[in-house]
Amino acid sequence: MSTANRPAPGSTMLAVAGLRKVYESATGSTEAIRDLTFQVRAGEMVCIVGPSGAGKTTLLRCISGLLPPTSGTVSLEGQKVSGPPKGMAVVFQEYARSLFPWLTVEQNVELPLKEKGIGRAERRRLVDNALEAVGLADVPRSYPWQLSGGMQQRVAIARAVAYEPHILLMDEPFAAVDAQTRADLEDLVRALWHRLGVTVLFVTHDIDESIYLGQRVLVLSGRPTVILEDVAVDLPDERDQLTTRNDPEFARLRAHVYDLVQKAKRGYRPGDEDSVLAADVQGAGRSAVTP
Ligand SMILES: Nc1ncnc2c1ncn2[C@@H]1O[C@H](COP(=O)(O)OP(=O)(O)OP(=O)(O)O)[C@@H](O)[C@H]1O
């Protein structure tokens, strides 16, 4: 895959600064995001976790230019985002809805390349490379509905990869597949990330997944959202499902992020040490924390 015009590894790819989003409706206003500031460097793999309703989808919509922020800015490669940026591809959870059932696998992958104005021969090369990279080189003329859920999600990933994005946003992409397929797809994302050098921002509900995949995990507070902690994942770069998940550092990180998410669910906010203690004392009397 081409790396032309891609920013140098380590330079700032994505900058989110003072992002705030308030939804206004006839019934009132909802402050989804209060204040988010973070950066993602070119070539990084960053995961985002947080409690349900924390504003993860809202954040991704603002980053992908689909939703204007109330205040603050999103910049990609130094350019302020005000609409869907060219160098970005997004993979959603609902692969069945994001693929066109009347198009074959290769036609689905090819479609955004046509829209990008790429010539036929180059499209052919990009489609073949992308299908090969996700392990689907043998089913180019199948229709999505003839494939398993995991394979359909591979088609969606191939489509994103063929587009040669500088940054790949993934919004809970594996939430709808079984555990074994999910593990395979996690390894696929790590492999593609290594092979292509693309920047990845990956949103997930799954704490283990965030640590297994990420170099950093951004843990969000409950709504209105701020960052609770930017957790560095100091695990070896070569990861596999057995060794990495059995690493004592993996267990330590898992416990730490789990604790942060539980605190977020109880309403903890940074600089709120007193209220955490109060919440902990109250929570101690309960049998379970609501998921
Ligand atoms: N279009 C909208 N109008 C009003 N409120 C909205 C709208 N979209 C989202 N919200 C509210 O904003 C908050 C954040 O929603 P969002 O979907 O971004 O959270 P999330 O972290 O992605 O949730 P989940 O983890 O459950 O998918 C929620 O309280 C939600 O009800």
Tell me, yes or no, whether 63 lies in a domain.
yes
pLDDT for position 273: 64
State yes or no: cis peptide before 270, omega within 30 of 0.
no
In the predicted model, is pLDDT for residue 82 greater than 80?
Answer: yes
CB neighbour class for 209 (10 Å; exposed up to 12, middle 13-18, buried from 19):
buried
**Which of 115, 138, 164 marks a domain boundary?**
164
pLDDT for position 13: 95
Q: Are 49 and 264 in contact (CB under 8 A)?
A: no
Tell me, yes or no, whether 69 lies in a domain.
yes
Mean pLDDT of the chain: 89
**Which of 130, 164, 198 marks a domain boundary?**
164
In this prediction the pTM is 0.89
- 3-class DSSP state of 19: strand
Tell me, yes or no, whether 198 lies in a domain.
yes
Are 155 and 194 part of one and the same domain? no
Are 113 and 175 part of one and the same domain? no
What is the distance in angstroms between the CA of the first residue and the CA of the last residue of the chain?
41
Q: How many domains does the chain divide into?
A: 2
Q: Whose CA is nearest to atom 29 of ligand 1?
A: 53
pLDDT tens-digit series, residues 217-268: 999 999 999 999 999 999 999 999 999 999 999 999 999 999 999 999 998 8
pLDDT bucket at 4, cuts 50 / 70 / 90: low
Question: The tokens of 172 are what?
Answer: 């809970």
31-66: burial string, b at 16+ Cβ within 10 Å, e else: ebbbebebebbbbbbbbbbbbeebbbbbbbbbbbbe
**Among 31-35, 178-182, 212-216, 270-274, which stretch is predicted with the lowest mean pLDDT?**
270-274
Are 73 and 194 part of one and the same domain? yes
Q: Tell whether ligand 1 has an atom less than 6 A from the beta carbon of residue 70.
A: no
CB neighbourhood size of 8 (10 A): 8
Are 192 and 107 part of one and the same domain? no
User: What is the tally of helices (H) and strands (E) in the chain?
Assistant: 10, 10
Atom of ligand 1 nearest to the CA of 205: 25
pLDDT bucket at 110, cuts 50 / 70 / 90: very high
Are 147 and 30 part of one and the same domain? no
What CATH number does residue 70 fall under? Answer: 3.40.50.300
In the predicted model, is pLDDT for residue 271 greater than 90?
Answer: no
Q: Tell whether ligand 1 has an atom less than 6 A from the beta carbon of residue 136.
A: no
Q: Tell whether ligand 1 has an atom less than 6 A from the beta carbon of residue 33.
A: no
Are 259 and 117 part of one and the same domain? no
ipTM for the complex shown: 0.96
Are 265 and 178 part of one and the same domain? yes
Q: Tell whether ligand 1 has an atom less than 6 A from the beta carbon of residue 262.
A: no
In the predicted model, is pLDDT for residue 283 greater than 50?
Answer: no
Q: 120: CA distance to ligand 1 center in Å?
A: 40
Q: 38: CA distance to ligand 1 center in Å?
A: 20
Q: Which of these, 39, 45, 43, lies nearest to 74 by C-alpha position?
A: 39
Are 83 and 224 part of one and the same domain? yes
Tell me how far apart the alpha carbons of residues 42 and 55 are, in angstroms, rounded to a whole number: 24
pLDDT tens-digit series, residues 169-207: 999 998 888 899 999 999 999 999 999 899 999 999 999
Tell me, yes or no, whether 211 lies in a domain.
yes
Residue from 21, 22, 25, 30 whose mutation best tests the ligand 1 pocket (most atoms within 8 A of CB): 30
Are 108 and 145 part of one and the same domain? yes
* DSSP annotation of 41: E
- Amino acid in the structure at residue 254: R
In the predicted model, is pLDDT for residue 58 greater than 50?
Answer: yes
Are 170 and 62 part of one and the same domain? yes
**Which of 126, 145, 164 marks a domain boundary?**
164
Q: Whose CA is nearest to atom 6 of ligand 1?
A: 23
250-289: burial string, b at 16+ Cβ within 10 Å, e else: beebbebbeebbebbbbebbeeeeeeeeebeeeeeeeeee
Q: 67: CA distance to ligand 1 center in Å?
A: 12
Q: Tell whether ligand 1 has an atom less than 6 A from the beta carbon of residue 53.
A: yes
Tell me, yes or no, whether 182 lies in a domain.
yes
Q: 223: CA distance to ligand 1 center in Å?
A: 9
Beta strands 28-41; 225-232: pairing state = parallel
Are 15 and 64 part of one and the same domain? yes
Atom of ligand 1 nearest to the CA of 58: 18
Calculate mean pLDDT across residues 41-56. 94
In the predicted model, is pLDDT for residue 276 greater than 70?
Answer: no
Atom of ligand 1 nearest to the CA of 30: 5
pLDDT for position 3: 54
Domain that holds residue 221: 9-87+166-270
Tell me how far apart the alpha carbons of residues 222 and 200 are, in angstroms, rounded to a whole number: 23
Beta strands 79-80; 71-76: pairing state = antiparallel
CB neighbour class for 117 (10 Å; exposed up to 12, middle 13-18, buried from 19):
exposed
Are 74 and 105 part of one and the same domain? no
Strand partners, 185: none
Tell me, yes or no, whether 284 lies in a domain.
no
pLDDT for position 270: 85
From residue 192, give the alpha-carbon distance in Å to each of 124, 131, 197, 245: 19, 12, 8, 20
Tell me, yes or no, whether 288 lies in a domain.
no
Tell me, yes or no, whether 3 lies in a domain.
no
Q: Tell whether ligand 1 has an atom less than 6 A from the beta carbon of residue 58.
A: yes
